[in-house]
Amino acid sequence: MASVSVDAKRFAASSLRFSVVLLAPPREEIIVGAQLNVSDYIIQRLAKEGITDCFGVAGDYVFRMCDAVVRSKSVKWIGCSNELDAAYAADGYARVRGCSLLMTTYAVGELSALNGVMGAKAERSCVFHIVGMQTMRHQRVHKITHHTLGDGVFQNFANISAQAACVSAVITPDNCVSEMERIIASARAESQPAYILVASDYAIAPVNPVAAAIWPKPASGPDLAGAIAALTERIERANSLAVLPASTVGRFQLQKTLQALIEKLGCPFATMTMDKGILHESHAQFAGMYSGAASSPEVLRAVEGADLVIDAGEVCFHDINTSAYSRKISPDKFVTIGIDYVRVGDRVFNPVQMGDVFDALTTAVRKNFGYRAPAKPAFEKRGGDANDPITAAALYPRYQEFLRPNDHIIIESGTSTSGIAPLTLPDGAEIHCQTLWGSIGWATGATLGIALADRSRRTVLFTGDGSHQLTALDVGTMGRNKLKPVIFVLNNQGYAIERALECSPDWEYNDLAQWNYHALPAALGCEDWFTTKVATLGELDRALERASKGDTACYIEVVGGRTDYPAGLALANKRLDAMYANG
């Protein structure tokens, strides 16, 4: 990797470019007329991408960028308790709006946010991460300042933060207009974060009103025809076919395009935990959830028993998605339609864009497999008596009844994922989870971002006590911004997911300080929230009924058993050797 120059102009023009996106040459030019300073231009340009909120923590080196947000009529400042929470919120917001804005100060701020931004890269959320740094005047003379290593060297951390992005740049008055177009086009094309460094003195300098290139979207090349021919030939030869849609279909807003292809094929589709809810689960061709050995017999027949399986969007067969690597899909019957390529056997076709492949294949295929999913079993009825303690077997059927169409449902990595993922989603409801990166505490921060991104729909969070302790301060930020989420915190006295992934559940490092969780909203300044702690099924039923009214934010602490695992987590507990290659 190239070394980082102190000189911002040379830095911006150097080989330290992290974009892997191949874009065609600029097609048109725009002339920036009105004289804006760099910070105002950046905020106004990002506002055109549909961003109306900026998450961050103010710091002296980013003050000038913060000022621009406050001046903006289009973007509102959302101050967060720490940078990691802000990054989680930006990730959640981007999953709904398509992109988001995160702002931190040099070194201490950007590095605190790094875990959250890296998770956004792993799970393809387009977060524009702006970092304010010392003035270029100080950088040129190697002035020793705070938030540094004391060596007079600046941009020490640029290479680190840039690893969490697909594209990066140091913005100057001269390159501001052109670099912002490149950054936005590249980050949008990959649906991954961008890293933007702005020196404090450059932030308030006038933008050089140069011609700016309009960067086109990535386009398919001549290989598209060959890809469609190869896919069509494999489909026509198959006696049975299944499609596995990936979360990237949602990131690039191609759900309707993929659904049209699946309906033309008349084949079953199944989703994995990371991809749940990409297409409506009430669809007549939805076979169910696929998770290797944890799948139902019908789903196993539809997916693992198919002659051909189409990976639509690059599904990720990681340990959580596959119930500890228990999938059994032969590679020779597996084809991939990736974001910008197609693989059929040993042949790779590129560049071909996923949406173009879906459209062309829908037109080309003639075969219809005539699949209709068997009638789904009726929802498991809630069981137990009012005075019974809350168990996993009784809890999740009640959550099933509580969910309603168009909900935004956020589930934390761990027990919540294992319990909620198997439930059937009402039409229009969307699941948001982070099963690949799996940073505990993500869900509470993401709930802040998702609730802000779409106030028109109910936002429901399912999290656990261990995860919640990392990011509970976000509850105060939700209250401050008059949001009305419904929050369920499962209190099972520690890190239940960690206990399940151990041979023994009794190691003391999986224990936690016992908080009065239901008292947190009031302590954090939330007004008029419904809060309660429930330990019996009767108390739980009354709380669910109250929360379903939707007239206020709700925070429900649910007391569960210390080692009472949902079925999927219990299965993982039995497959630890396979999951961790213990031998």
pLDDT, tens only, 315-339: 999 988 888 888 899 999 999 999 9
**Helix (H) or strand (E) segment spanning residue 411:** strand 408-411
Give the orientation angle of helix 176-190 with respect to helix 38-47, to 10 degrees.
30
User: Beta strand pairing status for 342-344 and 334-337?
Assistant: antiparallel
Report the C-alpha gap between 235 and 571 in whole angstroms. 34
For residue 63, give the H/E element and its range.
helix 63-71
Task: Indicate the DSSP class of residue 333.
Answer: G
Q: How far apart are CA 147 and CA 139, in angstroms?
A: 13
379-394 pLDDT per residue, tens: 777 789 999 999 999 9
**Token pair 């094309």 in the structure block, residue:** 189
Q: Is residue 498 part of a domain?
A: yes
Q: Is there a single domain that holds both residue 396 and residue 357?
A: no
Q: Is omega for the bond preceding 351 within 30 degrees of 0, making it cis?
A: yes
Residue 386 lies in a domain: no
Classify residue 332 by burial, with Cβ atoms within 10 Å: 0-12, 13-18, 19+: exposed
- Of 42, 90, 91, 36, whose CA–CA distance to 65 is shortest? 42
How far, in Å, CA of 554 to CA of 250, rounded?
A: 28
Q: Do residues 209 and 287 both lie within one domain?
A: no
Position 406 scores a pLDDT of 97
Say what the pLDDT of residue 20 is: 32
Question: By C-alpha distance, which of 487, 436, 477, 481 is closest to 125?
Answer: 436
Report how far residue 138's alpha carbon sits from residue 33's, in angstroms, rounded to the nearest whole number: 31
Asked if residue 2 belongs to a domain, the reply is no
C-alpha distances in Å from residue 56, one per residue of 66, 81, 100, 113, 484: 9, 9, 11, 9, 21
Same domain, 260 and 323: yes
Q: Is residue 308 situated within a structural domain?
A: yes
Which residue, 189, 214, 239, sits at the end of a domain?
Answer: 214
Residues 166 and 112 placed together within one structural domain of the fold: yes
The pLDDT assigned to 414 comes to 82
Q: What CATH number has the domain bearing residue 348?
A: 3.40.50.1220
- Residue 178 belongs to a domain with what CATH number? 3.40.50.970
Q: What is the DSSP string of 242-296?
A: EEEE-HHHHHTT-HHHHHHHHHHHT--EEE-GGGTTSS-TTSTTEEEE-BTBTS-
Buried b vs exposed e over 420-447: b needs ≥16 C-beta within 10 Å? bbbbebbeebbbbbbbbbbbbbbbbbbb
Instruction: Choose the final residue of a domain: 185, 214, 243.
Output: 214
Asked which of 214, 247, 279 is the last residue of a domain, the reply is: 214
Picking from 267, 260, 232, the residue whose alpha carbon sits closest to that of residue 365 is 232
How many independent structural domains does the chain possess?
3
Residue 435 in domain: yes
Give yes or no: residues 49 and 83 share one domain.
Answer: yes
Q: Are residues 82 and 195 in the same domain?
A: yes
What is the value of pTM for the model shown? 0.92
State whether 53 and 173 are in the same domain.
Answer: yes
Query: Would you call 27 exposed, middle or buried from its count of C-beta atoms within 10 A (0-12, 13-18, 19+)?
Result: exposed
Quote the CA–CA distance of 433 and 443 in Å, as a whole number.
7
Closest CA to 463 of 503, 502, 433: 433
In this structure, are 491 and 539 located in the same domain?
yes
SS3 of 125, please? Answer: coil
Asked if the structure places residue 3 within a domain, the reply is: no
- Same domain flag for 307 and 433: no
- For residue 95, give the nearest of 414, 331, 397, 433 by alpha carbon: 433
Environment class of residue 233 by beta-carbon count within 10 Å: exposed (0-12), middle (13-18) or buried (19+)? exposed
Residue with tokens 């059927």: 397
Indicate the DSSP class of residue 68: H
Q: Could you say which DSSP state residue 434 is in?
A: -
What are the DSSP calls for 462-522, one per residue? Answer: EEEHHHHHHHTTHHHHHHHTT---EEEEEE-SS-HHHHHTSS-TT-GGG------GGGHHH
Q: Which residue stretches of the chain have pLDDT < 70? A: 1-34, 571, 583
Which ranges in 266-382 belong to alpha helices (H)? 297-303, 354-364
Q: What is the pLDDT of residue 323?
A: 81
Asked whether residue 384 is assigned to any structural domain, the reply reads no
The answer on 31 and 73 residing in a single domain is yes
Q: How many helices (H) and strands (E) does the chain have?
A: 24, 21
Range of the domain at 553: 392-580
Q: Same domain for 441 and 336?
A: no
Residue 337 is assigned to a structural domain of this protein: yes
Question: 542 and 396 in one domain?
Answer: yes
